[in-house]
Amino acid sequence: MRTQVVTIHDVARAAGVSPATVSRVFNGGRVTPERALSVQQAAAALGFAPNRVARSLRKQRSSVIALIIPDIENPFFTSLARGVEDAAQRTSLSVVLCNSDEDTDKERRYLEVALGEQMAGVIVAAASQDETDLAPLIARGVPVVAVDRRPHAAEVDAVQVDNQHGGEVATRHLLRAGYRRIACITGPRGASTSEERLAGYRTALYSAGDAAPAGDAYVRHADFRVEGGRAAMRELLALPEPPDAVFVANNLMTIGVLDALREVGRTPPGVGVLSFGDVPWASLLRPSLTAVELPSYELGRTAADLLLQRIEGKPSPLQTVVLRTRLQVRESTAGP
Amino acid sequence: MRTQVVTIHDVARAAGVSPATVSRVFNGGRVTPERALSVQQAAAALGFAPNRVARSLRKQRSSVIALIIPDIENPFFTSLARGVEDAAQRTSLSVVLCNSDEDTDKERRYLEVALGEQMAGVIVAAASQDETDLAPLIARGVPVVAVDRRPHAAEVDAVQVDNQHGGEVATRHLLRAGYRRIACITGPRGASTSEERLAGYRTALYSAGDAAPAGDAYVRHADFRVEGGRAAMRELLALPEPPDAVFVANNLMTIGVLDALREVGRTPPGVGVLSFGDVPWASLLRPSLTAVELPSYELGRTAADLLLQRIEGKPSPLQTVVLRTRLQVRESTAGP
DNA sequence: CTGAAAGCGCTAACAG
DNA sequence: CTGTTAGCGCTTTCAG
């Protein structure tokens, strides 16, 4: 077991050139073809692999970018991750994924790693609108793009979907389908996505006038996870006058909602169910599920493109890109 | 926007000590309490964050470990990833995730990154039994653990499940339930998991004697993804004498299988369906799905524990840990 | 317990 | 086009 490392010096000696020349060969500097060839041969013969750590130290920048997401078990984020990867694919940058688990401590740790490892850039779906602190990265000039969720006070590029509009369209659809006691199960307080989707729900209800229900009696905050959705739905079902439809602010919670409904023998569209974000493998569900479709892949792709531009030093002003959602009507909201 | 970096020297000067002392404070060396305190204060005041790249270069080892998985969209692997993270959580090591996308080129790239970044260790669910080349890592003394899938010629610790046994138990269950034309949709040739699960299927059939069907007429190799499962099932359904049950070698392909069945108006248990690995959110499926349950989380956890031991320099001989699977009988295999 | 000094492997001026 | 040189920021002997 050889632990010995082959360095640029070893290659240089073997090829009869200077270390600088070897470096040039590996970095596209001007070198005569024959010299370049002999360097490559020497490198291959010795099994040379460049030390990226040394390179990063010298260049003050590594060639990896971090993607920090709050829930690796949510297909929405894994799809987003695919978008990021595919965009980075065509560059020399590698993407590493970090799962913050909706935990601001874990997230902070990863943010520190990204900073300390001098990563070329960071894409982050923030665990919290308030606590996620991007300032150290920004202070050091590391390009950062916020995706899906937007940390409050951060001066960063951002890519999101039209949460409020999507929530409004969804709720209006429910109203038009004839539902009258429409509930909303949204995410944690303080998450931009939670608040905006809820705002859309309220707007639709208010503008419907007399159809507007009793304040927030039908509003629940949960945790964007299956269990949270299930618990919130159980609560709503236990109300003296349970809702006849529910707008659920994310895919995972919708699964919990459907489970809770099944427990008590109710099924859509008797109780209308509309999910913000497609449930994975929804094709297997009967009745099929009406959902606000989110361009998860494109979200990642767009964020990565933006980041790559910043890394290349493009100086355009900060921008926020908003991607459209689209309501896909199916059976679960056919009417009470 | 300050791009200026605060180094250990700045802190040293501010605290009136030498850089070495600052380093000791941050690495648990012997320093008098009062000096340590003033160093910490100075560091805080200056907003010092240690440069992990410089540290890695000096120590010849970084403090991150890589987890390389072949499909980030498969809940089996994301659950495994959670296991790895939770195990690493209690150490000072950070986990970064790399998605090889079942592509040996992408995988090679990540393996190179892990080597070049001098990562402390690597856990890999190999994209290929033959092409995945762990030798460079091993030659440099980087601890490596193979998880779920085992690269052929590699001298590494490994953690897997009892694929063959699980496949055998599954197939026997189908036989006992009264199915007679049992098909098997397995993964790509050359993946250890594909081959072993298939071997279990064959063993069960052969030992059933006269129940054994015509050779491999009912065997299909697909790609471990939804589409592959769907296509394979369509093929099987088009046979002059279609199977009356199918053993599917992974969760994602099972989704495709169920879809294909629905297309032609068949449903389990009329056609028996048994999945190797739980389908995500199976609770929503009716009829409920019989599956071989895999300890995905524990797989990750165990692999990480093993890796951490190696990183700490534990010299025990190479080991392979095999975790048990468990057949969970539900409605989809109730009998033809 | 503390400081000085010597690099880890690489790249980027700067001469030649 | 090529070699020499000087570090990037940190840890770790080695003296004191």
Per-residue pLDDT of chain A (336 residues; tens, 9 = 90+): 445 689 999 999 999 998 999 999 998 878 898 889 999 999 999 999 999 999 999 999 999 999 999 999 999 999 999 999 999 999 999 999 999 999 999 999 999 999 999 999 999 999 988 899 999 999 999 999 999 998 887 789 999 999 999 999 999 999 999 999 999 999 998 888 999 999 999 999 988 875 555 668 899 999 999 999 999 999 999 999 999 999 999 999 999 999 999 999 999 999 999 999 998 888 888 899 999 999 999 999 999 999 999 999 888 899 999 999 999 999 999 988
Residue B261 is assigned to a structural domain of this protein: yes
Same domain membership, residue B307 and residue B240: no
- B1 is a domain residue: no
Residue nearest to nucleotide D6 (CA to C1'): A58
Does residue B48 contact residue B26 with C-beta atoms inside 8 Å? Answer: no
B3 part of a folded domain: no
CB < 8 Å to A62, chain B: 53, 117
Same domain? B147 vs B269: no
> Quick one: tokens of B166?
């699980």
pLDDT score, position A147: 97
Pairs of residues, one from chain A and one from chain B, whose beta carbons lie less than 8 Å apart: 142
Interface of A with B in 72-91 (CB under 8 A): 72-73, 75, 78-79, 81-82, 85
- Does residue B65 sit in the same domain as residue B113? yes
Asked if residue A2 is part of any domain, the answer here is no
Both B131 and B12 in one domain: the answer is no
A62 touches chain B (CB under 8 A): yes
B108 shares its domain with B255:
no
Separation of alpha carbons B126 and B133, rounded Å? 9
Q: Mean pLDDT in each 10-residue stretch from start to end of chain B (336 residues)?
A: 74 92 89 90 92 96 97 96 96 96 94 96 93 92 94 87 97 96 93 94 86 75 95 97 96 95 94 94 88 98 96 89 97 93
Name the minimum distance, in Å, from the CA of A204 to any CA of chain B: 30
Q: Are residues B179 and B87 in the same domain?
A: no
Residue B213, pLDDT score: 58
Q: Residue A39: which CATH number? A: 1.10.260.40
Residues of B in Cβ contact (< 8 Å) with A82: 72-73, 99
| Least Cα separation, residue A299 to chain B (angstroms) | 16
Question: Residues of B with CB below 8 A from A27's CB?
Answer: none
Residues A89 and A79 in one domain: yes
Do both A282 and A302 map to the same domain? no
CB contact under 8 A, B57 and A52: no
Radius of gyration of chain B (CA): 25
- Shared domain for B168 and B289, answered yes or no, is yes
Evaluate the omega torsion of the peptide bond into residue A269 and state whether it is cis, within 30 degrees of 0.
yes
CA–C1' gap, A40 and C12, in angstroms: 21
Count how many domains chain A has. Answer: 3
In a domain, A1, yes or no: no
Last residue of a domain, one of B18, B36, B56: B56
Answer whether residue B169 is part of any domain: yes
Q: Looking at CA atoms only, how far is residue A319 from chain B in angstroms?
A: 18
Lookup: nucleotide whose C1' is closest to A31 CA: D1
User: What's the residue count for chain A?
Assistant: 336
- Identify whether residues A302 and A157 lie together within a single domain: yes
Of all nucleotides, the one whose C1′ comes closest to residue A29's CA is: D1
Chain B contact present for A52, CB below 8 A: yes
HEC secondary structure over chain B: CCCCCCCHHHHHHHHCCCHHHHHHHHHCCCCCHHHHHHHHHHHHHHCCCCCHHHHHHHHCCCCEEEEEECCCCCHHHHHHHHHHHHHHHCCCCEEEEEECCCCHHHHHHHHHHHHHCCCCEEEECCCCCCCCCCHHHHHCCCCEEEECCCCCCCCCEEEEECHHHHHHHHHHHHHHCCCCCEEEEECCCCCHHHHHHHHHHHHHHHHCHHHCCCCCCCEEECCCCHHHHHHHHHHHHCCCCCCCEEEECCHHHHHHHHHHHHHCCCCCCCCEEEEECCCCCHHHCCCCCEEEECCHHHHHHHHHHHHHHHHCCCCCCCCEEEECCEEECCHHHCCC
> Is B138's CB within 8 Å of A281's CB?
no
Distance in angstroms: CA B288, C1' C11:
61
What confidence score (pLDDT) does residue B212 get? 57
Asked if residue B2 belongs to a domain, the reply is no
* Cβ atoms of A325 and A162 closer than 8 Å: yes
Q: Strand D neighbours with CB under 7 A? A: A 16-21, 24, 29-32, 35, 54, 57-58, 60; B 5, 7-9, 19-20, 23-24, 26-27, 29, 48, 50-51, 54-55, 57-59
| Chain-chain contact of B96 with A94 (C-beta, under 8 angstroms) | no
B239 touches strand C (CB under 7 A): no
Are A281 and B283 an interchain contact pair (Cβ–Cβ within 8 Å)? Answer: no
Model pLDDT, residue B4: 62
C1' (D4) to CA (B257) span, angstroms: 67
A7 touches chain B (CB under 8 A): no
- Cis? peptide before B269, omega within 30° of 0: yes
B174: CATH: 3.40.50.2300
Residue A94 lies in a domain: yes
> B157 with B302, same domain?
yes
Same domain, B260 and B152: no
The token pair that represents B237 in the structure block: 């359904």
Find out whether the peptide bond into B287 is cis, omega within 30 degrees of 0: yes
- For B13, the domain range is 8-56
Candidate from B116, B262, B285 with C-beta closest to A50: B116
Return the closest-CA partner of residue B327 out of B257, B254, B247, B255. Answer: B247
Is the CB of B3 less than 8 angstroms away from the CB of A78? no
- Chain A 255-274, residues with CB within 8 Å of chain B CB atoms: 255, 258-259, 262
